[in-house]
Amino acid sequence: MIVKIIKGTSFSGVLAYVLGKQEGKARVLYAEGVRRDASSHEIANDFALQASMRPNVKKPVCHTILSFSAEDAGRLDDE
């Protein structure tokens, strides 16, 4: 497994990138404190509201990329 972590400032940008990358394949598996079954714009607004409670945090966006080996595909599921 390879992990890459990217920090930034645009919730709408990372959501548009992640959820639009492979139309219909990317999905939110778990959410707490934000709407799960909403548009990327609405989810970004939820994140922005939470981020506004911590004005000292300069880069509140964290995009964590997990890349698994193709050999593990049969052992991975949404659970």
Report field, pTM of the whole predicted structure over 0.75: no
From first CA to last CA, the distance across the chain in angstroms is 18
Identify which of 51, 62, 58, 60 has the alpha carbon closest to the alpha carbon of residue 5: 62
pLDDT-based confidence at residue 23 (cuts at 50, 70, 90)? low
Range of the domain at 18: 2-75
Q: What is the mean pLDDT of residues 22-48?
A: 81
Q: What is the pLDDT of residues 64-77, one digit of tens each?
A: 888 888 898 888 88
Q: Which residue has the higher pLDDT, 8 or 27?
A: 8
Higher pLDDT, 26 or 77: 77
